[in-house]
Structure 1
């Protein structure tokens, strides 16, 4: 029998049979439906403390780690909490059906995120080395090029949805080229990549589509290498297998795209709705990079990271964890832990001790790439369209949430139609032809289609000048 897809109501909820359970199951079941997972996390924290029992899709038990210190302990002690999902007792007891929407996220694969020790070092080293070769300044020019191209598509209308029309496609256009894909391949992967994180009934099919595109890419790059991540992984001294190369390309693609989409969307929402936030930017009291760190504290791109698996019986925050138990790292709850942040109103500008990029041996190696895409993309967008305003009341901005992530579902805006973008009249967009992302060993060329123009003045500096 086919397992039904998870819904916000049954994706993550406290098990009613737990002795510490103190609320009706129906009321807890509705909390995720309100599109406010933070309420559920605080209910769990009040009932159970920093570590709470939950049920995953299919009524599979797990633990959710809510405390900041407890998350750090799990992240930094792989000898107690392994990344190898084959240790999961639910897998060993055949409780997870092959078509479960959990499989794309926790099914073991030959990836550095599912490895520990020397094997983890070998696999992660190839990814870190491959990403480190890219010239960040050249990549920022690449982001500028695609920002102008995307804005040109909707600039003539004077209206747009900044989530659908901008935040979702921009990271994929940049990251897909970083991997080595052709310009027309990236846009087709936007929806399948987002679908992987939703835990939907089509997640497995989306995963297969993305994997097939990447397998074709690796085959092509073996005979036509270039200055891209796929070619770097193929040639790396770690001697990765074809399967390892494909899986790590998929990891970078999904993580970088999903994470950066959410970071851009949450930051734009604050700019459009929070006068103090926007005032701090325009007044010079906070830079855009500082603002991004604040967003990663308050609205991390990935709210829950699955997972870790207990190597043996242990105790965490008073909870008896059994060998093979699964732990979910709740970054959203850890970043607002009252022990860490007793006053959430105090700004965290520039403070990078949040857990949005994890910590320990599995800390995200591509965090600076996501920051660069968001920083440059938002700055350029606001320079091109400086009078962006919401087209709907703030109360109508919904939140699209699932068991792993949350972000604004839409950001309808209006603006004054610009006369030109980077020297090109509106609505004629620049050509999609662009050069591969430059690597550190070679000069960083300007994308071929981006016309020569003066760099756009930083948004908050332009406000100060006016």
Structure 2
């Protein structure tokens, strides 16, 4: 091992580093985070499961981190938005976790796939209307980044015009950029105002009103923080899932042929993408409650674990042959596992499934406007996805004022997407770059 810190070059694929670390250290590797703070990168599938499921050994309470207790993390560290303790279910264990998570789960459970699909169908038509006449689009900027926010913001109870303004700040706040803190503040302010409006005039079928009225008696701060959690997680994860899946459909003839030929369903395709390109590649973290051993490494009390989902999903012990399809297999770790498994996974799947299905139906002749080798990748410390997907297609006309393609039957926007007896389902522009700090996030310890 080098005696100096090795910095990951900007152009490198993080997957290469993960495999180098796996070969050198095994399923758990020592790394340095920003500010030369030591941590453990969990690469193995079994080891990730153990960390995710064993709260007695690996807590979500970041206040246990020895770097915090020793005052080694500056207040302006770009790690802080993700690891600083907040009154959220993702930073709690035991009874407190059950109280907070129960409110979120109950709030999300009111939405069914049928109602969500109607929202998605409406907004897909609306977005396509904006670029269909030109015969060109960037499916990342013009579609994947916008659709999830339009849907999720409505589920939270926002007015139709509020969602679009939150797309860029929501993407920016987890990039680790210089403007991330300001973006986070902007999102928080919007959600704080939303809570006050809903307290004065509650809705009947939105997440905000449900959290306000929930028997868990959440404080205003807890409500705002959990709304922000749902908004950011649902948006980021679904943007990446849609973008990765569309790239596969546009560049992999075998993948697209399996889908069009009926050998693979779109839900199967989404699961395959979550195996190969999970929406979030690395998650900080877990903190050791005491001295223990994981993957052959001696973990000390207060040490941080960074769960590397991208590496775990391709663990050779779990998937010795990566060419074999994983259709219908939901045992990937893209949505975590154990007590902190993502409660909104089905909502994200419904948005991606319906959004891609309707898009491909309306614009079946889409083709990449550039060579596949020219497609770039936007990478930050938690995830990576296509930076742009420029496509061309035959220009399409829409009816005046209707917001609908002539060849489709778009439905008007539903007033609710909640479960009720009658509703039960039977050339690419420049992309903002992350700040440079993340590129040295996972460095080998000297």
Mark yes or no: TM-score above 0.5.
yes
Unaligned ranges ≥5, structure 2: 425-446
Q: Which residue of 2 aligns with 1:342?
A: 320
Q: Which residue of 2 aligns with 1:413?
A: 391
Note closer, same or farther for the CA distance 1:82–1:179 as it changes in structure 2 (3 Å cut): same
Task: Tell me the alpha carbon deviations over residues 413-466 of structure 1, each in whole angstroms, 9 at most, x when there is no partner.
Answer: 000112347975669xx9999454332137559xxxxxxxxxxxxxxxxxxxxx
Matched positions, count = 420
Q: Alpha-carbon deviation of 1:340?
A: 0.3
Q: Alpha-carbon deviation of 1:307?
A: 0.4
Does the CA contact (< 8 Å) of 1:303 and 1:332 recur in 2? yes
User: Does 1:153 pair with 2:130?
Assistant: yes
User: Does 1:314 pair with 2:295?
Assistant: no
Q: Which residue of 1 aligns with 2:267?
A: 289
Q: Which residue of 1 aligns with 2:211?
A: 233
Note closer, same or farther for the CA distance 1:121–1:421 as it changes in structure 2 (3 Å cut): farther
Q: Which residue of 1 aligns with 2:20?
A: 43
Note closer, same or farther for the CA distance 1:74–1:30 as it changes in structure 2 (3 Å cut): closer
Question: What aligned pairs does 1:27-426 form with structure 2 within 5 A after superposition?
Answer: 28-31=6-9, 33-226=10-203, 227-420=205-398, 424=403
User: Does 1:440 pair with 2:410?
Assistant: no
Task: Tell me the alpha carbon deviations over residues 65-118 of structure 1, each in whole angstroms, 9 at most, x when there is no partner.
Answer: 000000000001000000000101111111111111111111101110000001
Q: Give the secondary structure class of the aligned counterpart of 1:171.
A: helix
Task: Tell me the alpha carbon deviations over residues 106-147 of structure 1, each in whole angstroms, 9 at most, x when there is no partner.
Answer: 110111000000100111011001000113201101100000
Does the CA contact (< 8 Å) of 1:156 and 1:417 recur in 2? yes
Q: Structure 2: how far apart are the matches of 1:210 and 1:370?
A: 20
Q: Alpha-carbon deviation of 1:36?
A: 1.1
TM-score, length-normalised on structure 2? Answer: 0.91
Q: Structure 2: how far apart are the matches of 1:405 and 1:425?
A: 34
Q: Give the secondary structure class of the aligned counterpart of 2:40.
A: strand
Q: Structure 1: how far apart are the matches of 2:247 and 2:8?
A: 25
Does the CA contact (< 8 Å) of 2:121 and 2:410 recur in 1? no
Q: Alpha-carbon deviation of 1:371?
A: 0.1
Note closer, same or farther for the CA distance 1:81–1:158 as it changes in structure 2 (3 Å cut): same
Q: Structure 2: how far apart are the matches of 1:301 and 1:240?
A: 29
Does the CA contact (< 8 Å) of 2:121 and 2:411 recur in 1? no
Does the CA contact (< 8 Å) of 1:156 and 1:426 recur in 2? no
Unaligned ranges ≥5, structure 1: 1-20, 446-466
Q: Structure 1: how far apart are the matches of 2:171 and 2:68?
A: 25
Q: Give the secondary structure class of the aligned counterpart of 1:64.
A: strand
Q: Alpha-carbon deviation of 1:22?
A: 4.7
Q: Give the secondary structure class of the aligned counterpart of 1:413.
A: strand
Note closer, same or farther for the CA distance 1:310–1:298 as it changes in structure 2 (3 Å cut): same
Q: Give the secondary structure class of the aligned counterpart of 1:208.
A: helix
Q: Give the secondary structure class of the aligned counterpart of 1:52.
A: strand
Q: Which residue of 2 aligns with 1:457?
A: none
Note closer, same or farther for the CA distance 1:384–1:426 as it changes in structure 2 (3 Å cut): closer
Task: Tell me the alpha carbon deviations over residues 135-170 of structure 1, each in whole angstroms, 9 at most, x when there is no partner.
Answer: 320110110000000000011110000000000000
TM-score, length-normalised on structure 1? Answer: 0.87
Q: Structure 2: how far apart are the matches of 1:187 and 1:351?
A: 34
Q: Structure 2: how far apart are the matches of 1:164 and 1:290?
A: 25
Q: Structure 2: how far apart are the matches of 1:442 and 1:201?
A: 48
Does the CA contact (< 8 Å) of 2:115 and 2:419 recur in 1? no
Note closer, same or farther for the CA distance 1:350–1:426 as it changes in structure 2 (3 Å cut): closer
Note closer, same or farther for the CA distance 1:319–1:232 as it changes in structure 2 (3 Å cut): same
Task: Tell me the alpha carbon deviations over residues 175-206 of structure 1, each in whole angstroms, 9 at most, x when there is no partner.
Answer: 00000111111111111111122111211111
Q: Structure 1: how far apart are the matches of 2:411 and 2:212?
A: 27
